[in-house]
Every structure is written in structure tokens, then in C-alpha cells.
Structure 1
């Protein structure tokens, strides 16, 4: 676990949100378990963990195809159900991670953004609840880009909004897909589990 948090040689910082800047694994696990049970889709913890960071609708489409589910409702209806649950119970689960100290260290010095697989409005609500909005200049959610992580679109959009070259951006991520997205965007990436001991507590228990 690193104790060196001197990132002065970068011109901008991009944080993933869930499992990185925000401890929200249990929030999303609760909402997913309720949603999948409600719509009769099997719950596979290993598969759900492998899909961490994938937007809700894409996750639903993958699960329905993989389990050959015969569903009545549209994926948009299921998405709306899950997002409503997140809004309803987020206050019970979410809190900042230790990376808030990095945000505090660089606020007002360099621009900082969120690049997340969550939808923008949901992300903004969670960040506001955690008291993190004040540190961030932009929030880029999955609804703002053509292709989610591991495509580089999310992080490239953050760089564009901040007016900083991708090569001058540093990305904090907790997932392999997110780190791949950072690499494909031409950005340096930090694995927060390896460097800070931050683990996304999301579908860790089988079942």
C-alpha cells in the first residue's frame, strides 16, 4: 500500500466512482439482488463481479442472454426499477473512500473529474450525498459516451472537458476494465486495491 500521494507531475486527475472514490459496493449489490429477484433473473455473484463497471442496461442484456431468460419487461423498465432503488437507499450505504484525501490535496490546484459506468444523474446524487461534489469539476457517466469502459471514451471525454491532454491525466480505478480504458486513452492508471488497499465490496460472497 502506497503512502506517496505526490502526483504533481500530472495536469489532471480522473477518478472512477464506484469502488474507487466512493464505497458503494453494498449499495449496488443490494439494488441488483432486489432487481434480479423481482424480474426472475438468476443471481451469479462471480458473473456480477466480473461485470462491475458495466452500465446497467448492458449488464441486463448480458445476463438475459447468458442465462437465456424469458423476460416480459423491457430492459429499460428493469433499469428504471434498479435506479429507483439506488436513489431510495443510497443514503444507507455510500461513503467516501480514503481517496478523498487525494481530492482534498489537489482541489483548486488541478482539475478533477469522475469517469464512471454509472449514469450521470445517479452519480451526481451519490457524490453529493458523500460530500464529494465540491472537489470535482466534471462528472462523465455512461450516458454521455458512445462506448463504456473498457473503451477509452469515458476518460477521453473527461480530458476534453478539463482541457487537458490525455497523456497528462492520471486515472484512479478499481477494475481491470477501467484500467484498460485508461491505458487505451493514453493515460496513466493506478489500481486502488494495489496502491491504497481499497477493495470494492461488491458480490464478494457467492450466491
Structure 2
């Protein structure tokens, strides 16, 4: 299945919905958070924002629904992250892509480029037993412009010492697919090509 990708020198994985099945983890945390702060829940809108960091998502939702928040997006983010930490062991597991990562360990560098923040991303990877496979983890807090900007993936390439054109990116979200394309990298839509579906705010 993966032989056609073997010529790439480095691999970059998105995390949520790609390397890790974490849709229910984040949906549960978002539902509790949005209900707590009085922000309406729109499944289709939430799915469209997959891959966008929490603080930016909060700002978009508040503007979209014309909600005046009494706290900053940082406070909302901290509230959601606390729920994620409390419930992580209930919800996350590796996707079939983890097997491919195992096969490539030691053969080429691998990085995770995610819209999650680095601390949370490392916690998720550790919970799934994937930490030993990943050479670099780049969260949204490490770049000025997170996905859909290309900065996250460009930083991954720089840390791995590989040119962007020599990187393959595995992604599930439109924001990430756009980011990879704008970074000049080859991107695989894991939903379309590998039938990996992120169970996240499904209708």
C-alpha cells in the first residue's frame, strides 16, 4: 500500500485523525467547553475547523455566533485542555498509519506537525505508545502562523534537515492539506486514500 511513497526522504504526520484516532477525545472536550461558555455547537462548522488550533477556533466561533465571551481564548483553551488531560486514556488509540511508522523507524526521519499545542501532542503520542517513532513534534505554539499556513510543516522539514519537496505529509483535514500543498510537499489525504476516518462531530 505504501510502496509508492518510498522515494520520499522524510515523513510528516498530522496527529489527530491521522496518526491518532482522537476524534471522540476532542469532540467530548469541545462539547463540554462550548456548553460551559455558552457557545452554540454546529457539527459541520466544527468539522470544517478540524486542524485549526483551539484559540483560533474559539475566536472564529465567537465571531460566527456573535457571542461575547467573558474570558479570553487562553482561558477557554486551558479549560478544554484540562478536560483532554482528564479523559485522554478513555478515548485515544493509534490508527493503522502507526504500523507504517513502525516500518519506517530508523530508515527515514519522521515528524508530527499538528494544530494541537506541543505539550498536549506529546501527551497524546505518549498515551498511544508512539513517542519512540517520532523524531520531532511541532505544535501550533512553535510557529507564528499555524495551519492552514505552511509554517508547521516547513518547521518539521527544517528540524529533520530535509527539503520540503522531499517530504510526504499524511493529513485528514482540509486546513492541513492546504498547509502541506503550500509548503511544497506531497500530501496524502488519509480519508480518501487510506480510509482513515476521524470520528469527530459526524452528522
Aligned match of 1:144:
142
Output aligned runs, 1:1-207, within 5 Å: 3-205=1-203
Do 1:14 and 1:170's aligned partners in 2 also have CA atoms closer than 8 Å?
yes
Q: Deviations over 1:68-113 (max 9, x none)?
A: 1122122111110001100110100000000011101100010000
State how far apart, in whole Å, the 2-side matches of 1:124 and 1:164 are.
Answer: 22
Instruction: Give the number of aligned pairs.
Output: 203
Do 1:169 and 1:187's aligned partners in 2 also have CA atoms closer than 8 Å?
yes
Structure 1 residue runs of 4+, over 6 Å off? none
State how far apart, in whole Å, the 1-side matches of 2:92 and 2:59 are.
Answer: 26
Partner of 1:78, secondary structure, is helix
Q: CA deviation at 1:5?
A: 3.9
Q: CA deviation at 1:6?
A: 4.7
Do 1:36 and 1:42's aligned partners in 2 also have CA atoms closer than 8 Å?
yes
Give the unaligned 5+ runs of structure 2.
none
Partner of 2:63, secondary structure, is helix
Q: Deviations over 1:126-151 (max 9, x none)?
A: 00000000100000000000111111
State how far apart, in whole Å, the 2-side matches of 1:185 and 1:47 are.
Answer: 25
Partner of 2:75, secondary structure, is helix
State how far apart, in whole Å, the 1-side matches of 2:39 and 2:2 are.
Answer: 44
Give the unaligned 5+ runs of structure 1.
none
State how far apart, in whole Å, the 1-side matches of 2:25 and 2:3 are.
Answer: 28
Partner of 2:168, secondary structure, is strand
Q: CA deviation at 1:176?
A: 1.6
Q: Deviations over 1:41-68 (max 9, x none)?
A: 1111111111000000000000111111
State how far apart, in whole Å, the 1-side matches of 2:2 and 2:164 are.
Answer: 22
CA RMSD of aligned residues (A): 0.8
- TM-score under structure 1 length normalisation: 0.96
- TM-score under structure 2 length normalisation: 0.98
Do 2:25 and 2:84's aligned partners in 1 also have CA atoms closer than 8 Å?
yes
